[in-house]
Chain A
Amino acid sequence: MFAMLEKLAGIPGVSGQEGQVAKEICQLIHGYCDYHIDALGNIIAFKKGQKTPVHKLMLSAHMDEVGLIIVSAEDNGLLKFAPVGGIDKRVFVGKSVMIGQVHGVIGTKALHMKKGDEKEKTPEIDGLYIDIGAKDKEEALSHVNLGDRAVFTSVYTPFGDGFLRGRALDDRAGCVLLIQLIRAQLQYDTWFAFTVQEETGTTGAKTAAYQIAPERAITVETTTACDIPQVKEDKQVCALGKGPVVSFMDKGTVYDMDLYTKAMACAQRNNIPCQAKAGVYGGNESRSVQVAGKGCRVLAVSVPCRYLHTPSCVIKEEDMENTLRLLEALLDEFGA
């Protein structure tokens, strides 16, 4: 499972350009289910189980990731960019990026030339640029097209006591969990959607849910864990090592209380470590799934993840494993 995660997390797939990720996922699920790619690029997959469930069930995870989009080339050969999805403006400087195969860097003048509070101020994104070493606009545009996406380079690595660090774990971790389920034997027929453009408005999930028209849906995500020293315990929301995170409410969705309660009880019954999302923050594509067509009862199950939307997402392996166990149990529970 983790070798698959390393591979998937290394493929660039900034919102609107998820094709390479989709291609890899199709290879991984080929022969285990029926699937097709829809008009927006979502993978819609149907896995036949031993029985037909009472309520049509869909699981979704998004394939896209936050990143950068090239918006213009300057006369001096530097590239201006805009963020795609929500990226903390404090993490851009000093990073290198890949625009396809082109290596670029985002830097500012040396700190020795920064005066006074300039040293302690976050540079505005508007003032930043990507330097690929081009001597002028023409040379830059012979290597890069406007609209190309860029991702931060990131060294994927296991570290510490069972932790993983990498880019795009949000939400390739969810994709990997869905793939694991598709490749297993399922008791009930289940629909799966690998969606596009979650980070820019949960766009893919709208059309995926419309087509599948599920009655019950689980969004499989990563969610921000703030279990770090600078954050007080009451604001940490969730923590690594405490199992999957089940949401009752976030900024985008009020989840179905019945599904939430059943999920928490199911975890307890099966001795799976599990935590409630203790704070109303963030959101995910459940908001779109919930209101697609005639509406659908939704639940979100997430792998807790530190430093979300940075080049250095961190998750814990055992949380991935426990999230998979909980999802397996929930498929049986919700099918009956």
Chain B
Amino acid sequence: MDTSTMILELSQATGIVGMEAGAVKTAEKMLEGCGDCSVSALGSLICRVKTAPADKPHIMLTAHIDEIGLVVTYIDEKGFLRVSGCGGIDLGIILAAQVLVHTKQGDLPGVVCTVPPHLQPDDTKLPKVEDICIDVGLSQEQAKQKIALGDRVSFVNKAGRMLNGQVSGKAIDDRGGCTSVILAARELAKCDLDCSLTVMLSTLEEIGSQGAKTAAEEIMPTHAIVVDVAFGHTPDAPRHQCGELGKGAMIGVAPVLDNDMSRQLVETAKKHKIPYQMDVQGGRTGTDSDEVAVCGAGVRTALVSIPQKFMHTPIETVMVSDVEAVGKLMALYIKDIFGGER
């Protein structure tokens, strides 16, 4: 399976915040042969790739597996659903969106209702998530039989391949990152390492990183590399806040991140000619790193990001070469810094 197929397969798996089991299963299959897998109390996937004596370093590679979506909060008398957001929803994408309601009995297709323009006095304003309705083509009675409050709703979109090795689809935030982590794990599983290595794909990142915090507590690594997506530049976005697609791994620098690790990652990239760009932030990173770094007595943490266009939409777009660069950078960094037989 090539990298683009891995990204798209993970992208199509279902794993809305708090209900990530489907996506976890897909990822677990991709980690086959890398090590023993288990699932944490909050649903994060943990794969023990290498176990070294306790006095050796223990590296954790992590990306989050949850995706944004909606949650059903009410079924009205005509069978239309009301919802709330699971994670930050871009209001611009909601109307007429095609959705799937994930129920115990299976997935039900639906559409987000749009009020036709002739009845919409002000079409310059987007509705709030709480004001939209979802049409599932069922009466209230039928809907109540099939759909439970709390069921999650995902936006569906045909995943697509674009020019220059770009792929687009839903949930590539952060299944693109999961792909990089899995690629690194596969590479490192074959090597002799003088450290422990654990992969962790976290749940609940989009609503506060509860998955990463608790799984890191269980793993208690000495070092962690968090992989997430970061803004890829588009003409309407401020240039200085964005990376660029195709320019490689974005190596993070921020107060909570370990300066040595950031520097060593840059050195590794230079040494092995892996394309990279810097991603500097003045405060919180808005990723799992904020929680992982302060876990237990503290974890030295690095952040490596994949530049992504159209974040939090069903058309999130990344370049396959960037996803591979991130995977390769992590694998070579660990081999160079923590490898055996040096």
Residues of A at the B interface (CB closer than 8 Å) are 74, 76, 78, 86, 88-91, 93-96, 102-113, 119-123, 127, 129, 131-135, 139, 143, 153-155, 157, 159-163, 165, 224, 226, 228-231, 235, 281-282, 306-308, 310-312, 314, 316
Contact = CB atoms under 8 A, between A and B. Distances in A.
A109 B78 CA distance: 36
Given A90-B126, A160-B137, A228-B133, A108 B236 contact: yes
B138 A231 contact: no
A165 B76 CA distance: 21
Contacts of A113: 231, 237-238, 241
A162 B142 CA distance: 12
Nearest to A95: B315
A96 B158 contact: yes
Nearest to A104: B162
Main secondary structure of the interface of B (DSSP, over half): loop
B91 A226 contact: no
B139 to A, nearest CB: 7
Contacts of B120: 88
A230 B312 contact: no
Interface stretch (B14-22, B25-33, B163-171, B187-195): B163-171
Contacts of A93: 90, 92-93, 313
A161 B137 contact: yes
Interface string B148-172: 0000000111101111111010000
Chain B contact residues (Cβ within 8 angstroms of A): what range? 35 or more
Nearest to A87: B117
Contacts of B119: 226, 231, 235
Contacts of B165: 133
A263 to B, nearest CB: 24
Given A113-B241, A134-B163, A153-B160, A307 B137 contact: no
Interface in B222-266: 231, 234-238, 241, 246
B257 to A, nearest CB: 19
Contacts of B116: 88, 224, 226, 308
B125 A88 contact: no
Interface string B90-102: 1111111110000
B337 interface: no
Nearest to A316: B137
A133 B92 contact: no
A143 B136 CA distance: 38
Nearest to A109: B237
Contact of B126 (A78, A122, A131, A229): A122
B160 A120 contact: no
Q: Which of the listed residues A110, A231, A281, A310 has the most CB atoms from chain B within 10 Å of its own CB?
A: A110
Contacts of B123: 88-90, 122
Given A134-B164, A162-B137, A88 B96 contact: yes
B310 to A, nearest CB: 3
A228 B80 contact: yes
